[in-house]
Amino acid sequence: MIEIKNLTKKFDQNLALDDISFSVEKGEILGFLGPNGAGKSTTMKIIASFWLPTSGQVLIDGLDASEDSLSARKKIGYLPETVPLYEDMRVFEYLKFIAEIRGLDKSKTKNRVKEVVSICGLNKVLRQPIEELSKGFRQRVGLAQAIMHSPDILILDEPTTGLDPNQIAEIRDLIKTIGREKTVIFSTHILSEVSATCDRVIIINCGKIVGQGSPAELADKYGGLEQAFRELTV
């Protein structure tokens, strides 16, 4: 579903990604681990077509993300680390805008917005201005935005930061439900979340992949996920 080949990204003289390659199968939930500044967000931004790589290739369902960018983008739902919300809009205005700009049929828009609202539990805040929402609801609106066009691929950059344990559990369940049919890549700092949701984990440090495998494999090899993380990234 997603194939990353020899991805390198430089910012001026800074090497943010150094020759990264991996692939994600259809229906797989992939967890991205790594310290801050390791290159997780950079990788996700490149997959989502926000940045072009300095070199290397991203294939989305066989489509080259830099040459066939528009078709590739249609298959992706992306939730950046800073949740991209237009503060002065109301929740339903925002979701309607997303549905329209994503090119959903007019006849389907209303039903799809309703569906997404119920999946993400936004019924109570529909008429509220986004600037008045709590962090948990903001995150959910962001997620609703990402799944609006029923994309095959979901890219979620730290979807649970700043949430309380209940909200984290909710978002985690949501990712699991969505991940049954879709390919999901998400990054996180919470290791227990990884073992609870991911089929596979990739650990990145300093722009390089330093470890990968299923959570159980990694835990076995290093005597726990936390040990694996510490050993591979310090």
Binding site for other proteins (CB under 8 A): 45, 48-51, 70-71, 73-74, 76, 78, 80-89, 93, 97, 100-103, 145
**Minimum distance, C-beta of residue 1 to other proteins, in the bound complex (Å):** 18
Query: 83 or 228: whose CB is closer to other proteins?
Result: 83
Asked if 76 contacts 148 with a C-beta cutoff of 8 angstroms, the reply is no
What 3-state class would DSSP assign to 109? helix
Query: 44 or 117: whose CB is closer to other proteins?
Result: 44
**Segment (H or E) for 199:** none
Query: 42 or 197: whose CB is closer to other proteins?
Result: 42
**Minimum distance, C-beta of residue 205 to other proteins, in the bound complex (Å):** 24
Query: 9 or 172: whose CB is closer to other proteins?
Result: 9
Query: 88 or 220: whose CB is closer to other proteins?
Result: 88
Edge-first strand order for the sheet with 29-33 is 76-79, 153-157, 183-187, 29-33, 200-205, 208-213
Here the tokens at position 90 are: 């109301």
Q: For residue 95, give every residue at least 6 positions away whose Cβ sits within 8 Å of its Cβ, in sequence order, or none.
A: 113, 116, 117, 122, 141, 144, 145, 148
Q: Which of 27, 7, 5, 77 is nearest to 180 (CA)?
A: 27
**Minimum distance, C-beta of residue 211 to other proteins, in the bound complex (Å):** 28
> How remote is the C-alpha of 9 from its chain's centroid?
19
| Residue recorded with tokens 């959903």 | 104
Asked if 186 contacts 28 with a C-beta cutoff of 8 angstroms, the reply is no
Q: Is 179 left (phi over 0), alpha (psi -120 to 50) or beta?
A: alpha
Q: Which of 98, 88, 94, 185 is nearest to 150 (CA)?
A: 98
**Minimum distance, C-beta of residue 168 to other proteins, in the bound complex (Å):** 21
**Minimum distance, C-beta of residue 167 to other proteins, in the bound complex (Å):** 20
Query: 71 or 111: whose CB is closer to other proteins?
Result: 71
**Minimum distance, C-beta of residue 49 to other proteins, in the bound complex (Å):** 5
